[in-house]
Amino acid sequence: MRVAACFGAGMDIVEPCAFPLTDKKIRAAAMDYGAAISPTRHASWTAYQNSAEAARGRLVLFTTAGAGEIWDFDFSADDRLLFGRESAGVPENVHESADERLRIPIREGMRSLNVTVTAAIALAEASRQLR
């Protein structure tokens, strides 16, 4: 939430999450950034797909199984950036829904970056391109 707030990005949370996400935990995670961001919660992937948010732009999934690298991708202002669980990524049906699948290249032998770092890198690169 802090990353989204600092970059001025909206944020959608699609449940179930990797951890219990009550309204109280969302407020705690937002800390003093809570006034700058108000995440939209969706009860399921289907609920998200039926929402107004899902109707705009390309769905860009960040995954270690991505075909393309973030540095070679041209972002658009209406792209929706999707990040999965650190431990398991996203389910196959979500993977199939993505218009683009990107990876952030990391050193060989390393598994992955955590979701917050990945989101920060992705938002920074998109912002750099779209400035």
Q: Which residues are annotated as a binding site?
A: 84, 104, 112
Q: What angle do CA 47, 115, 2 make, to 5 degrees?
A: 85
Annotated binding site for S-adenosyl-L-methionine, which residues?
A: 84, 104, 112
Nearest in space to 54 (alpha carbons), one of 85, 79, 37: 79
The dihedral through the CA atoms of 45, 64, 69, 104 has a sign that is positive
